[in-house]
Amino acid sequence: MIIDDLDAIAEAERSSAKKTVIRCCMAAGCMSSHSEAVKTSLEKIVRDSGLSERIEVRGVGCMRLCCQGPLVGVDPDGIIYEKVTPEDAPAVIIATQGGEANVKRGDPTHPFYTKQLSIVLANSGLIDPERIESYIAVDGYRALHAVLREMTPNDVVESAIKSGLRGRGGAGYSTGLKWATVAKTPAAQKYVVCNADEGDPGAFMDRSVLESDPHSVLEGMAIAAYAVGANQGYIYVRAEYPLAIKRLQIAIKQARQTGLLGSGIFESPFSFTVDIRIGAGAYVCGEETALMASIEGRRGTPRPRPPFPAESGLWGCPTLINNVETFANIPVIIRKGAEWFASIGTGLSKGTKVFALAGKIENTGLIEVPMGTPLRQIVEEMGGGAPGGVKIKAVQTGGPSGGCIPASELDTPVDYESLTRLGSIMGSGGMIVMDESTRMPEIARFFMEFCMDESCGKCIPCRTGTVQMHRLLDKIVRREATPEDLAKLEELCDMVARTSLCGLGQNAPNPILSTLRFFRNEYLELLQAQPDGKPAPAGANAT
């Protein structure tokens, strides 16, 4: 494989493009609403009516507005159809030849679409994720070529630093600095690991990226491997994502056959292979040291850091571990330049972030917006607010490690620092909207039950602390708690956060602390009156 071969594939793909392209969403959300039958039906009609020369029916990745699926898009007309059934297929095809189809139309001018800025999702919903040619036709693997032919590993690390990209898996550590550490640790063997465990309930960004554009992740990993000096990569995917696993397997196979993975890529001395490791349903395995234990075939329990994986990771070798979305940003940063990337976003949070909008919100699905976009714009303008015009009460970000941001703070820009200031975290990108019907102490109990179940049991503060906190929350929700119980709960929050071994325990109190901070009254209302008969003292502001 040399650049001319890549060009030839791209050219062949582009020149065989047909006049009309009908895109059918083949990501997990729409597939569960039978989009495959819709696609089959469209293909049959195109064939039967002799339109194969003019119309291509293409299976694509996530088209964003999951709640209205199955989604079908028609180019170049710019039409989006929603809730399409196989019976709608004839009308959709007839409409491509002029006329109107009596099929539910989406509104491409809605802020849900127009306020998005797609970097990571640029190809999602457009290309066929099961064909490498489709990715190559949109400049796929050009960044890898540029890196191998024109840049030293150090240039690549510099570029990552300059872009300001921060890890999208939760903690937000500088990607470039992490790469630099792995690069400068001398070792005969190094590894690159992609964290696709996506354990936060309510988050489905990484699943969508893998199902929609798996090659962008592979290309990002290969570039990272060149930068840090690794030749072997692993993608750790959770078992709950069978479709993502299948698409990755196809992508790896095609990349290997095309010579874009394997030895001597682009006739350079660089070799890189990628293997998939499938998780087995343990949330804690998203934590990097637990994840590596799991790749080694052991129980997924975390270990103290340092040493960080960058110095001693898989089998004791220096290991770079990044999140799916982090890797997917890399090829674009190389192609368009670190300066371009750094010009998007805010002072300390560069680029875009993909969020999964879910919960009590009209438009559920995937959005990608520049860092710094106000929460209000996301949930009200783009998300359309809560269904039935009900008032939004809070937005939960960061999953079981995050917090609830009250409606009064909706003007907060989403960036790492602002969300942390509100007692939540950016997290991996799950955004769950809650309306007035959601009781905050119950939500806190829900998350604590999750952490209690998922605690790996290695360290005592997390193992027993989560049980005790859950017990107290349960008591509160059942109106059996006293003010002393609440005081004990707050004390435990502090202890567990300070003394737990890994992020699971350290952050487990966050949902309690953030709901106490903004919705303390809801807790107080549930407490039994104090012994002296006085009503429980009034607490903080909200509700």
Ligand X SMILES: Cc1cc2nc3c(=O)[nH]c(=O)nc-3n(C[C@H](O)[C@H](O)[C@H](O)COP(=O)(O)O)c2cc1C
Q: Which residues bind ligand FES (CB under 6 A)?
A: 201-202
Contact predicate 508/489, CB 8 Å? no
Nearer to ligand FES, 409 or 435 (CB): 435
CB of 43 or CB of 325, closer to ligand FES: 325
Task: Outline where 265-383 has alpha helix (H).
Answer: 288-295, 324-336, 338-342, 375-376
Q: Which does 167 bind (CB under 5 to 8 A by kind): ligand FES, other proteins, ligand X, none?
A: ligand X
Residue 140 contacts other proteins per CB under 8 A: no
Instruction: Determine how many CB atoms are found less than 10 A away from the CB of residue 102.
Output: 8
Q: Residue 32 or residue 268: which is nearer to other proteins going by CB?
A: 32
Nearer to ligand FES, 398 or 413 (CB): 398
**Options 83-91, 110-118, 489-497, 500-508: segment touching ligand X (CB under 6 A):** 500-508
Q: Fill in the per-residue mask, 194 to 233: x = in contact with other proteins (CB under 8 A), - = not in contact.
A: ----xxxxxxx--x--------------------------
Burial class (CB in 10 A: 0-12, 13-18, 19+), 432: buried
Which residue's CB is nearer to ligand FES, number 323 or number 364? 364
Q: How far is the CB of 336 from other proteins (least distance, A)?
A: 29
| 208 burial level (CB within 10 Å; 0-12, 13-18, 19+) | buried
Q: What is the DSSP letter of 104?
A: P
Q: Does 340 bind other proteins (CB under 8 A)?
A: no
Choose between 245 and 333: whose C-beta lies nearer to other proteins: 245
- Residue 518 is a binding residue for other proteins (CB under 8 A): no
Q: How far is CA 323 from the centre of its chain?
A: 8
Please give the Cα distance from 443 to 540 (Å, whole number).
18
By CB under 8 A, name the one of 2, 177, 280, 529 that touches other proteins: 280
Our finding on whether 503 is near ligand X (CB under 6 A) is yes
Among 185, 254, 319, 323, binds ligand X (CB under 6 A): 323
Calpha distance 249→245 (Å, rounded): 6
- Rounded Cα distance between 311 and 297, Å, is 20
Cis peptide bond N-terminal to 108, omega within 30: no
Q: Is the CB of 140 or the CB of 199 nearer to ligand FES?
A: 199
String marking each residue 258-297 x if it binds ligand X according to CB under 6 A: --------------------------x-xxx---------
**Residue from the set 59, 199, 385, 403 that interacts with ligand X by CB under 6 A:** 199
Q: Is 427 in the site for ligand X (CB under 6 A)?
A: no
Nearest distance from C-beta of residue 237 to ligand FES, angstroms:
16
C-alpha distances (whole Å) from 301 to each of 35, 87, 276, 296 are 39, 50, 20, 12
Among 281, 307, 316, 537, the residue binding other proteins under the rule CB under 8 A is: 281
CA–CA separation, 449 and 305 (whole Å): 26
- Residue among 90 and 201 whose Cβ is closer to ligand FES: 201
Residue 390 binds other proteins (CB under 8 A): no
Phi, then psi, of 359 in degrees rounded to 5: 90, -145
Partner from ligand FES, other proteins, ligand X, none binding residue 448, C-beta < 5-8 Å depending on class = none
Q: What is the largest CA-CA distance in the chain?
A: 85
Is 224 a binding residue for ligand X by CB under 6 A? The answer is no
| Min CB(199)–other proteins separation in Å | 8
**Candidate list 33, 41, 322, 396; residue touching ligand X; CB under 6 A:** 322
Residue found under tokens 């180019």: 75
Kindly write down the DSSP assignment for every residue of 197-208, as one continuous string.
---STT--HHHH
In the complex with ligand X, the residue whose CB is nearer, 200 or 435, is 200
Residue from 504, 512, 526, 527 in contact with ligand X (CB under 6 A): 504
* Residue 189 binds which of ligand FES, ligand X, other proteins, none (CB < 5-8 A, kind-dependent): none
Strands of 273-278's sheet in order across = 273-278, 232-237, 191-196, 319-323
Q: What DSSP letter does each residue of 4-54 carry, written as one string?
A: HHHHHHHHHHHHT--SEEEEEE-SHHHHTTTHHHHHHHHHHHHHHTT-TTT
Identified binder of other proteins from the candidate list 39, 168, 190, 277, rule CB under 8 A:
277
At residue 362, φ and ψ (nearest 5 deg) are: -60, -55
Q: How far apart are CA 514 and CA 246, in angstroms?
A: 39
Looking at the chain, the number of H-run helices and the number of E-run strands are: 22, 13
CB-based burial label for 403 (10 Å; 0-12, 13-18, 19+): buried
Radius of gyration of the chain (CA): 24
In the range 456-475, which residues lie near other proteins by CB under 8 A?
Answer: 456
CB nearer to other proteins: pick between 67 and 467: 67
- For other proteins, the closer CB: 81 or 266: 81
Asked if residue 161 binds ligand X (CB under 6 A), the reply is no
Q: Which two tokens stand for residue 124?
A: 């999602």
Euclidean distance between CA atoms 511 and 300, whole angstroms: 24
Give 144 or 217: the residue with its C-beta nearer to other proteins.
217
329 binds ligand X (CB under 6 A): no
CA distance 491 to 200: 26
* Secondary structure E strands in 54-173: 55-60, 72-75, 79-81
The binding track of 411-450 with respect to other proteins, each residue x by CB under 8 A or -, is -------------------x-xxx---x----x--xx--x
Which spans of this chain sit near other proteins (rule: CB under 8 A)?
Answer: 28-29, 31-33, 66-67, 69, 198-204, 207, 239-241, 277-283, 294-300, 356-360, 364-366, 396, 399, 430, 432-434, 438, 443, 446-447, 450, 454, 456
User: What are the residues binding ligand X (CB under 6 A)?
Assistant: 167-171, 173, 195, 197-199, 284, 286-288, 321-323, 326, 428, 502-504
